[in-house]
Amino acid sequence: MTRRPRSNSCGAAVLVLAAALCATGPALAREYMTAEFLTKSPRPMTLAVLPPHAEFIKAKAVMTAEMIQEAGALEVEAGKAISTMLESKGYKVRLLTPADYDTTHGLRELITSLNGRYNEEWGKILRKKRDVRYGRYGTGEDAVKLSALLHVDGLVLSRIVAVGHTGGRQALTMILSLGQAYAQSYARMGLSVLDGRSGRVEGYFEGMRNCTTGGLVKKPAKVMTDLAEVTLDDYLPATEVKAPRKSQGEVQARQEEEPESDDAAISDFEAILQQNGTAPAAAAIAPAPSEPAAPSEPATPAAPAAPSEPAAPQSPPAAAAPPAPAPPVSAPSPAP
């Protein structure tokens, strides 16, 4: 089986998904849908299910190993299970397979570009899942072009993480925790529905199912079928309309009160790249320098002013005149 190329961004987000909600029960499901999706205004009814991406990690006593071939089997069975589940809810579904890449011109390039763009958004969704309800995530023109090429109005993308613990890992966990913890094997799925008209993420569904390592390796169809049923249990049937938890006015008010700043978007982007060891340089996110202004024409020099006549030298100040002597006092004449 030809394996798809791995995406570094996807691998970074996988670590986040694998670490999230570790203390859970045998099965867990959560859903996040926009008001338009709930009320069918509009809701994608004709769906194309893209080949899922799966990561299968085998946890040994002192190390981990990625199970490439087994992950490929999980991807095949997961695609079938997702399609079957959506069809049972009344949607028209087309399941894409790697064989379709060679029969439809330009399909491979569009899917590759869309997966790369979605991996970036998926990393943000994992940190703020509730923002899906406010329509804050999207994949842009790639989803629109692919939907037009496939003649559908919605796309389904899924990411799967399976962790299988060996007997040695389970024993080591119990010893180190003094019998208070147990290493449980499990499979998790995160599934997004994209609107083919705008590329926006209209719904995000996630589910988890406990299983065994032997089940992941020997019975991938059963494990993926159970996982798809848990994940899509709250996916609305095609004929069902549900009132949103908050009115559209409240949603718009929150969007106006809490706009997503550019700094937050840059921080999310840097976080994904730093997990892969490829943090962008400061120049990559610095604003582009403005174009230099065109040089202005040199000003015409003014005519030189006529030289003024030299000022006459000032004469030195005259010495102050000595004070005049007081007149002599005459002696009084003697009386006759």
Per-residue pLDDT, 27: 65
Residues 17, 22, 27: CA angle, nearest 5 degrees? 90
**pTM assigned to the model:** 0.67
Per-residue pLDDT, 179: 74
Q: Picking from 12-21, 47-56, 242-251, which range would have the lowest pLDDT averaged per residue?
A: 12-21
- The tokens describing 237, both together, are 């049937």
Residues 6 or more apart from 43 whose CB is under 8 A from it? 36, 37, 202, 236
Average pLDDT estimate for 1-26 = 47
CB 267 within 8 A of CB 128: no
Per-residue pLDDT, 21: 41
More confident residue, 72 or 319: 72
Per-residue pLDDT, 169: 76
Mean pLDDT of the chain: 76
Sorting pLDDT into bands at 50, 70 and 90, what band is 166? confident
Average pLDDT estimate for 141-148 = 95
CA 200 to chain centre: 13
pLDDT tens profile 133-143: 999 999 989 99
pLDDT score of 327 more than 60: no
pLDDT score of 248 more than 70: no
Cα–Cα distance, 187 to 169 (Å, whole number): 17
Average pLDDT estimate for 93-106 = 90
Residues 6 or more apart from 172 whose CB is under 8 A from it? 61
Sorting pLDDT into bands at 50, 70 and 90, what band is 203? very high
Per-residue pLDDT, 64: 78
pLDDT tens profile 48-90: 999 999 999 888 776 777 888 999 999 999 999 999 999 999 9
Outline where 20-140 has alpha helix (H): 35-39, 68-88, 100-103, 107-127
pLDDT tens profile 212-234: 999 999 999 999 999 999 999 99
Q: Provide the residue ranges of all domains of the chain, joining segments of one domain with +.
A: 8-244
pLDDT score of 335 more than 60: no
Q: How large a percentage of the chain has pLDDT more than 70?
A: 64
